[in-house]
Amino acid sequence: MQCKNKTDSDILEKELSKLRTVTVERQKRKLPALHVMFVPKEIEDEVFRDTILQQNNLSHIEGPVLNIKFTNRTFEDSRHVVIEVSPNIRGELVALQKIKLHWNKCNVVDFVVVTRCLKCLGFRHTTRFCQNQQMCSRCAEDHHWKECGHQNPIRCSNCLKANSYNKDESKKINTSHSVFSKECPRMRRIESVIISKTDYSS
C-alpha cells in the first residue's frame, strides 16, 4: 500500500498493527547514488572507498556504505564514476561539493540511476531481457537509429506510448524531442519515482 505522505503512512501502520492477522513491513528504500567526476585513473576500485574516506576526513562515520556501481565515462587520465552510498556519507559528500582524490578535486553531485533498454528504449529492463520491437531513438519508428533516413520528425517513443493510454487530450505530453532528452516528461516521471523510493535521510 502507498500513502501520500509520511503522516498518513504512520497512521496506517499504527492501525494495521492492531490487527493480529496482518504483518506490517515498510518497503526498503534504495541507497542514493552520486556522480564523482574526473576521478584519477590510477585509483583502482578496490581502494576507491578508503581513499575517499581518508583524504576527506570521513573515517569517523560509522558503517559507511560506498561502492562503485559503474564507470560512466572514460577520458585519457580520468573517469566519471557513479557510486552507491549510505545516506550519512551522501550528506557529507554533497555538502563538500568537491572531494579530494590524490592531487585532484573532483565534483560530486546526486545521480539518479535509471534502468533503460537500448533496444526498445523503454524503462525498468535492459536489452538482454527485452522482448519488444527495436525502436529508433530519433523518429520512434521500428528500426535502429543507424538505419533511420531522418525523413520523419524527431519523436520520443516513450512519450508517444504514454499518450496512447491517455484519453484526455488536454493531458497529453509533448513528444517532439529525443528519447534521451533530459527534458523528456516520461524520463522525468521515472526519475521522480526513483527519487521517492530512495533513502536520502542521514
The reply to whether 84 and 151 lie within a common domain is no
By three-state DSSP, how is residue 55 classified?
A: helix
| Boundary residue ending a domain (54, 87, 111) | 111
- The answer to whether position 45 is within a domain reads yes
Report the alpha-carbon distance of residue 39 to residue 33 in Å, rounded: 16
Same domain, 106 and 131: no
| pTM metric for this prediction | 0.71
In this structure, the dihedral spanned by the alpha carbons of residues 159, 164, 165 and 169, taken in order and rounded to 10 degrees, is: 90
Query: How far apart (Å, rounded) are the C-alpha atoms in residues 38 and 43?
Result: 11
- Which grid cell is 28? 526498503
pLDDT for residue 5: 60
Q: Are residues 51 and 87 in the same domain?
A: yes
- Grid coordinates given for 1: 500500500
Identify which of 33, 17, 35 has the alpha carbon closest to the alpha carbon of residue 25. Answer: 17
**Which pLDDT belongs to residue 14?**
73
Residues 39 and 107 in one domain: yes
Q: In this predicted model, what pLDDT tens digit does every residue of 136-148 receive, in sequence order?
A: 998 999 888 888 8
Instruction: Spell out the per-residue pLDDT of the chain, length 202, in tens.
Output: 665 566 766 777 777 677 767 776 666 778 999 999 999 999 999 999 999 999 999 988 888 889 999 998 999 999 999 999 999 999 999 999 999 999 999 999 999 989 999 999 999 899 999 999 999 998 999 888 888 887 778 999 999 999 999 888 888 999 999 999 989 999 999 999 999 889 888 6
Same domain flag for 99 and 149: no
The residue range of the domain holding 87 is: 33-111
- Is residue 19 domain-resident? no
Same domain? For 89 and 150 the reply is no
Phi-psi map region of 150: left, alpha, beta (phi>0 left; psi -120 to 50 alpha): left
In a domain, residue 25? The reply is no
Q: Are strands 66-74 and 33-40 parallel, antiparallel or unpaired?
A: unpaired
41 and 86 part of one domain = yes
Q: Which of 79, 111, 143 is the last residue of a domain?
A: 111
- Total domains in the fold of the chain: 2
